[in-house]
């Protein structure tokens, strides 16, 4: 795997630095280090999966934990400041093949020169370890060279508005010994403890070591005496442990670094690189004739693969990854609808653990439904580490809280409940994982069906769902959202289908007995699915929701993404127009494409294309996917490129807050299910009419199915497209 992403600059531009912080994030699914330079201060510390804490407004948020990564250099007692004095060149290279980040900083001031080169890893195999090896070469200078390696515990989470902030942890233990330094922090709600230890070493024996302790950091200082020129080499090991795995995270983090130190550096790195090689061999993608899109697909895959922790029972995949604090680290439908297809295809065990997150909190989902007066299970629109609704209801825009925005999504974006049921079925179709279904997949399907059964009301001979919100968040409190009602119909279909299958499979039968699913109940599900109101006109055009066509019509400028091309007077009354924020009818028509004729899908696609602002990064991938299925290849490809570059090009102007994991997954969803036409039936892969570009001469990749990994080969002869499913190449 050859892909490298290189960024060069002269000096630090803090705005760009935060974007690079996201793009160059290294993670192993357990914890992540953003890509900001270790040589300069940064407001970001560590993000450790599962570590959330209570916060006003947003309920719980991913904690910006202490920063263990810094390596500060002082030349003659003067800190090397990358923003002033002297000339700098900074080059950073992310190698996604090996999961490494290389940094080269060159500095010169008059006759003095310093070259810093480092390699950083967040170990993919040793889940509690990160490490940096650096060399510092100096010329034209003799005197003291000081390297300071701190753990900084002044990292905070900004609240809303951003001038208020919380430091979500307290340092409850600290230790400095000959092995290194370490702290144990506890979140304010006392739910979690994290041990962070670090040790900086050099094979050059001629240095003095000092421990530095201040109010908000603890550090090791190595002091070297340099002749007129010289090179020193340092290694920094970082151990990060949670009280989820061990009782004494501080002790454990010290153990981790001392074990790492006992290994040869090259062996340590090789173990990490081998793990990445193994992971990439599960995909082994080649698109002959279009290296550019191959590169973009792999870049997105890298960030998705980084989020997998094989040693965790369930995975919490936030909508901005472990890459930033956007959306406070909350999980949305992005995970189940947009990223799951990628994991199902390339790492079904990870897909299972993503669904296990939903299983883990099904009792919470049942409580949620009950609290609203309904039966069954309703999943929260946003959730964190405890499965409880975490969507803010109101967000103050000014420090005194005078200007407040009411957020309706938590109350109304209940479609996530049907999305999760859809995801369970997709996973089962690909894997035939009966054990998962007995463990909880069936429960999710039946309990979500029960939620809808209590949620619908019967009016004028139809079942209707009132006061709700589809993916299009411009309109709230609507009745009969097309997206919701069609997805609910699918949810009920699935409950009915799996009920019948449960009668045949012994372990499953036990589940319907325990849950007391009866023939009567199934009859009711069928009755509702047959009579649920789907707001479509006789000419095949479907309304987003009841009354949508009565709203003021307005069309977007083609190729304009987001609201920036809309006139201000339209933005002010957007909810009174037919503009939609993101794929909604189009998303349903893609996910449920076998339920509609191609003519109807085409008609709706064209209609909504002209009225969608794509203000969410989830929109473009769905449009790309459906355009590909419809054979609108130019549009499908342009949108695929855009979706794939969401963060690389910072299309939504907020990459600094984290990676758009939904767009990354959506890019793969469009490629696999839109372009290639991958479907699963009873654990087998079926390729339904690939829609490929004429320049794609040959496409090759591996994909998982019930019968193990298969190699897909699609040959484009110019006249014909030939697909084959083979055994994968031996690595």
- Residue with Cβ nearer ligand BGC (333 or 525): 333
**Beta carbon of residue 45, minimum distance to ligand BGC (angstroms, whole number):** 23
379 belongs to the binding site for ligand BGC (CB under 6 A): no
| Beta-carbon count within 10 A of 729 CB | 10
Question: Helix, strand, coil shares of the chain as percentages rounded to 5?
Answer: 35, 25, 35
327 belongs to the binding site for ligand BGC (CB under 6 A): yes
334 belongs to the binding site for ligand BGC (CB under 6 A): yes
By rule CB under 6 A, what string of x and - marks binding of each residue 470-499 to ligand BGC?
A: -x-x--------------------------
What is the Cα–Cα distance from 276 to 170, expressed in whole angstroms? 35
Total binding residues for ligand BGC by CB under 6 A?
12
Burial class (CB in 10 A: 0-12, 13-18, 19+), 513: exposed
In eight-state DSSP terms, residue 595 is: G
**Beta carbon of residue 471, minimum distance to ligand BGC (angstroms, whole number):** 5
Return the residue matching tokens 């709203």: 551
- Residue with Cβ nearer ligand BGC (128 or 544): 544
**Beta carbon of residue 393, minimum distance to ligand BGC (angstroms, whole number):** 16
What is the Cα–Cα distance from 622 to 582, expressed in whole angstroms? 9
Tokens of 389: 């609704």
389 belongs to the binding site for ligand BGC (CB under 6 A): no
Residue partners of 550: CB distance under 8 A and separation at least 6: none
Residue partners of 529: CB distance under 8 A and separation at least 6: 489, 492, 493, 496
Near ligand BGC by CB under 6 A: residue from 46, 618, 672, 703: 618
Torsion angle in degrees (nearest 10) through CA of 266, 272, 276, 278: 90
* Dihedral-angle region of residue 433 (phi above 0 means left; psi in -120 to 50 means alpha; beta otherwise): beta
In eight-state DSSP terms, residue 553 is: P
- Residue with Cβ nearer ligand BGC (512 or 622): 622
What is the Cα–Cα distance from 87 to 21, expressed in whole angstroms? 22
- Residue with Cβ nearer ligand BGC (492 or 556): 556
**Beta carbon of residue 472, minimum distance to ligand BGC (angstroms, whole number):** 8
Which one of 61-69, 123-131, 285-293, 327-335 is the stretch in contact with ligand BGC (CB under 6 A)? 327-335
Which one of 52-60, 330-338, 341-349, 507-515 is the stretch in contact with ligand BGC (CB under 6 A)? 330-338
Which one of 329-337, 513-521, 571-579, 583-591 is the stretch in contact with ligand BGC (CB under 6 A)? 329-337
Near ligand BGC by CB under 6 A: residue from 55, 103, 319, 453: 319
Return the residue matching tokens 């883990």: 360
Near ligand BGC by CB under 6 A: residue from 339, 480, 582, 612: 582
Tokens of 159: 């609240």
Which spans in 574-632 are helix H? 585-591, 598-609, 619-629
**Beta carbon of residue 663, minimum distance to ligand BGC (angstroms, whole number):** 8
- Residue with Cβ nearer ligand BGC (128 or 334): 334
**Beta carbon of residue 381, minimum distance to ligand BGC (angstroms, whole number):** 8
616 belongs to the binding site for ligand BGC (CB under 6 A): yes
By rule CB under 6 A, what string of x and - marks binding of each residue 531-570 to ligand BGC?
A: ----------------------------------------
Return the residue matching tokens 């829609």: 691
Which one of 212-220, 331-339, 549-557, 565-573 is the stretch in contact with ligand BGC (CB under 6 A)? 331-339
299 belongs to the binding site for ligand BGC (CB under 6 A): no
Is residue 244 within 8 Å of residue 192, measured between CB atoms? yes
Burial class (CB in 10 A: 0-12, 13-18, 19+), 176: middle
- Residue with Cβ nearer ligand BGC (495 or 580): 580
- Residue with Cβ nearer ligand BGC (355 or 618): 618
332 belongs to the binding site for ligand BGC (CB under 6 A): yes
425 belongs to the binding site for ligand BGC (CB under 6 A): no
| Beta-carbon count within 10 A of 516 CB | 8
Near ligand BGC by CB under 6 A: residue from 224, 302, 333, 608: 333
659 belongs to the binding site for ligand BGC (CB under 6 A): no
- Residue with Cβ nearer ligand BGC (265 or 408): 408
- C-alpha distance from residue 440 to each of 54, 55, 229, 437, 509 (Å): 28, 31, 65, 5, 13
In eight-state DSSP terms, residue 59 is: E
By rule CB under 6 A, what string of x and - marks binding of each residue 405-424 to ligand BGC?
A: --------------------
**Strands (DSSP E) along 227-335, which ranges?**
229-242, 286-288
The full DSSP string for 313-349 is: SS----TTTTS--GGGG-B-HIIIIIIHHHHHHH-HH
* Contact residues: ligand BGC, CB under 6 A: 319, 327, 332-334, 471, 473, 581-582, 616, 618, 662
């Amino acid at each position: 795997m050859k892909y490298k992403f290189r960024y060069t600059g002269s000096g630090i531009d803090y705005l760009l630095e935060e974007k690079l912080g996201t793009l160059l994030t290294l993670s192993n699914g357990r914890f992540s280090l953003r890509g900001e330079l270790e040589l300069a201060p940064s407001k970001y510390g560590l993000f450790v999966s599962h570590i959330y804490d209570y916060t006003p407004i947003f309920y719980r948020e991913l904690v910006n934990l202490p920063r263990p990564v810094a390596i500060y250099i002082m030349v003659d007692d003067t800190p090397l400041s990358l923003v002033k004095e002297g000339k700098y060149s900074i080059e950073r290279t992310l190698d996604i093949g090996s999961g490494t980040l290389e940094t080269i900083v060159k500095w010169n001031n008059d006759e003095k020169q310093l070259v810093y080169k480092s390699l950083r890893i967040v170990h993919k195999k040793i889940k509690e370890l990160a490490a940096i090896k650096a060399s510092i070469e100096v010329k034209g200078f003799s005197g003291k060279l000081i390297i300071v390696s701190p753990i900084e515990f002044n990292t905070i989470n900004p609240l809303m508005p951003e001038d208020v902030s919380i430091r979500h942890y307290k340092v409850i233990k600290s230790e400095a010994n000959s092995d290194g330094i370490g702290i144990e922090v506890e979140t304010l709600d006392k739910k979690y403890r994290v041990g962070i230890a670090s040790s900086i070493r050099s094979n050059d024996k001629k240095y003095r070591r000092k421990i530095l302790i201040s109010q908000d950091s603890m550090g090791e200082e190595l002091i070297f005496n340099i002749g007129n020129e010289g090179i020193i080499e340092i290694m920094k090991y970082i151990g990060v442990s949670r009280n989820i795995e061990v009782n004494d995270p501080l002790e454990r983090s010290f153990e981790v670094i001392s074990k790492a130190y006992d290994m040869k550096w090259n062996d340590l790195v090789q173990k990490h690189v081998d793990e990445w090689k193994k992971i990439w061999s599960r995909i082994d993608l080649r698109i002959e004739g279009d290296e550019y899109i191959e590169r973009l697909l792999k870049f997105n895959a890298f960030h998705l693969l980084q989020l997998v922790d094989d040693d965790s029972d369930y995975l919490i995949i936030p909508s901005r990854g472990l890459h930033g604090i956007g959306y406070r680290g909350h999980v949305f439908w992005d995970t189940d609808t947009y990223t799951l297809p990628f994991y199902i295809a390339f790492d079904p065990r990870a897909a299972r653990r993503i669904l296990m997150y939903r299983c883990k909190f099904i009792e919470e989902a049942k409580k949620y439904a009950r609290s609203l007066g309904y039966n069954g299970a309703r999943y929260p629109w946003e959730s964190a580490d405890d499965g409880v609704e975490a969507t803010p209801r109101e967000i103050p825009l000014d420090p005194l809280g005078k200007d407040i925005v009411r957020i309706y999504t938590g109350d109304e974006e209940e479609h996530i409940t049907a999305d999760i049921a859809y995801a369970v079925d997709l996973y089962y179709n690909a894997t035939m994982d009966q054990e998962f279904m007995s463990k909880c997949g069936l429960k999710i399907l039946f309990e979500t069906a029960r939620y809808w059964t209590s949620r619908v009301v019967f009016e004028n001979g139809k079942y209707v769902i009132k006061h709700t919100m589809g993916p299009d968040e411009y309109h709230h409190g609507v009745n009969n959202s097309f997206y919701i009602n069609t997805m609910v119909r699918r949810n009920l279909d699935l409950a009915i289908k799996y009920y019948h299958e449960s009668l045949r499979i012994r372990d499953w039968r036990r589940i319907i007995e325990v849950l007391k699913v009866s023939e009567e109940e199934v009859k009711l599900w069928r009755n509702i699915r047959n009579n649920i109101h789907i707001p479509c006109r006789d000419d095949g055009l479907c309304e987003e929701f009841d009354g949508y066509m009565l709203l003021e019509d307005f069309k977007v400028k083609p190729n304009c993404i987001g609201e920036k091309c809309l006139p201000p007077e339209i933005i002010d009354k957007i909810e009174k127009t037919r503009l939609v924020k993101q794929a909604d009818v189009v998303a349903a028509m893609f996910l449920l494409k076998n339920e509609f004729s191609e003519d109807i899908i085409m008609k709706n696609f064209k209609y909504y294309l002209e009225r969608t602002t794509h203000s969410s990064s989830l929109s473009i991938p769905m449009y790309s996917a459906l355009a590909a299925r419809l054979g609108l290849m130019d549009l499908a490809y342009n949108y695929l490129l855009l979706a794939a570059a969401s963060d690389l090009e910072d299309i939504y102007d907020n990459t600094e807050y984290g990676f758009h994991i939904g767009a990354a997954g959506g890019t793969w969803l469009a490629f696999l299910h839109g372009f290639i036409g991958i479907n699963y039936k009873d654990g087998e892969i079926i390729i339904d009419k690939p829609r490929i570009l004429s320049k794609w001469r040959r496409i090759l990749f591996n994909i998982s199915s019930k019968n193990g990994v298969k190699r897909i080969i699609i040959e484009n002869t110019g006249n014909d497209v030939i697909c084959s499913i083979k055994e994968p190449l031996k690595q």
